[in-house]
Amino acid sequence: YGKAYNFTGGSINYIEIPENPSLELENINFTIISWISLNPPITFAGIRHIIGKGNLLELAPPVGYGLLIYYSNPNTFFQFGTDVAKITGVGGFSANKWTHITGTQNIKDGMTTTKFYLNGVINKTGTQAYMATSSTGYNLFIASAESSETVTKAIIDEVMIFNRTLSDNEISGLYNLDL
């Protein structure tokens, strides 16, 4: 508690974690969680990364996984997942307001189910045929994209990555946890 990073676009622009096999999540079940509070004023338009590994901004095709914010006033959208298993939910993001965001990926019987949660509650679910993707060779970034000068101006805290799909009750419990 009290150890959040404030990404202002100044000297602390992003966190970069070197390539590591333990962060290769594309062919397994996984969960990504974070708290985020956007810094005012919210004036950006377009895509901003909360956490990402791979090249998620490429159009044909993107690779990797991540939590991204698509901001286009007045709506904020959140994208989670790999390039082939992504969902977009309507976010409740506003300046100086903490929001707990979670994305899960569950692979079973050739299908990928992704879920997006806002403040411990399911916001959107999507299911589609599973296709493998890869983020091998990429570093993991918090508050920025791979090789990007685009910084998410926000306070980000409690980033967690699990190599399994957490249950609805576990996600709700983490949201309600008083640290």
User: Residues 90-145: pLDDT tens digits?
Assistant: 566 677 888 898 888 888 888 888 888 889 999 888 887 766 566 778 888 888 76
CA distances from 80 to 96, 98, 124, 153 (A): 22, 18, 10, 19
Q: Is residue 173 predicted with pLDDT exceeding 90? A: yes
Residue with tokens 């992704």: 114
- 85 band by pLDDT with thresholds 50, 70 and 90: low
Reported in sequence order, the residue ranges of the chain that DSSP labels E, i.e. its strands, are: 5-7, 15-17, 30-38, 46-55, 63-72, 75-82, 85-90, 99-108, 111-118, 121-129, 140-142, 154-162
Q: Which two tokens stand for residue 73?
A: 């006033």
Peptide bond into 74 cis (omega under 30): yes
| Pairwise CA distance, residues 3 & 164, whole Å | 25
pLDDT over 70 (residue 77): no
Structure token digits, residue 156: 């980000």
Q: What pLDDT band is residue 42 in, cutting at 50, 70 and 90?
A: low
Highest average pLDDT, of 59-68, 73-82, 120-129, comes from 120-129
The residue among 130 and 6 whose pLDDT is bigger is: 6
